[in-house]
Each structure stands twice: as structure tokens, then as C-alpha cells.
Amino acid sequence: MTTDPIVFGEQPLRIEQVVALASRSAPAQLQSDAAYREKIAKGARFLDSLLDKEGVIYGVTTGYGDSCVVAVPLHQVEALPRHLYTFHGCGLGKLLDEPATRAVLAARLQSLCQGVSGVRVELLQ
């Protein structure tokens, strides 16, 4: 394993870094400076404020695609993302092996690290 960690945060990942993560030849860490953490927190606060003001956010309190007119009861909002990926994962072939799974997770995590998805830093950690 290399000594330099691959940092998930504002900077894009190179394909070589994704390969290193997939093969477990490099450790990973989340960008830790206060400005970055505040950017992530700001996105989460914005989502919370929209929920408070609007009550309806596509894909958060509604279904997806043609189901966007279907309101999701607040007590089921936390389960919605699991239902989405379960639905989209049905019938798509064999499961990914561990390195491919780690590569997909690295790409998704890097996407969420941009600060525009409304996630909290705890999810990124």
C-alpha cells in the first residue's frame, strides 16, 4: 500500500487513483479542511431548508421519473434511496467482484463529495 492517501473532496479523482482504491493499494481519506466541511454542511442545510419551506423535493419526498407526482410520506423518505437502487439493480446480470465494487463506490463517493447533493459529512465519512 502506498503511504499517500487518496483524498476524496473537491478535486477530481484520476483513473489511476480509482484503480489504486479498487486494488486496495492506496488508503483513502476525506478532505478535512474547515472550508470544505462547511461547503458540505451548507449543502445539507440548503436541502433541510427546502424541506422546511417547500416540503416537496424531487427524488427526496417524491418518486422518480414518471412517479415524480407521487408524494412519499415523510416516514418513508429515508427508505426511498434504497428502493431506488434496489429497483434499478433488478435483472442487470451478475454481481460485481470486489475490486469493481470498490471502483464504483469510489466514483459515487467522489460525486457526492462535490457538495451539491445535500448529503452530510457523516455520510461521506
Q: To the nearest whole percent, how much of the chain has pLDDT over 90?
A: 50
Q: At what angle do helices 15-22 and 98-112 cross, to 10 degrees?
A: 130
pLDDT band, residue 71 (cuts 50/70/90): confident
pTM of the prediction? 0.75
Q: What's the mean per-residue pLDDT of the chain?
A: 85
Cβ contacts of 31 within 8 Å, gap of 6 or more: 7, 8, 9, 10, 11, 113
Please provide the CATH number assigned to the domain covering 6-124.
Answer: 1.10.275.10
Could you tell me the residue ranges of all domains in the chain? 6-124
**Active site amino acids:** 58
pLDDT of residue 41: 95
Enter the DSSP assignment of 6: E
pLDDT band, residue 110 (cuts 50/70/90): very high
CB 5 within 8 A of CB 26: yes
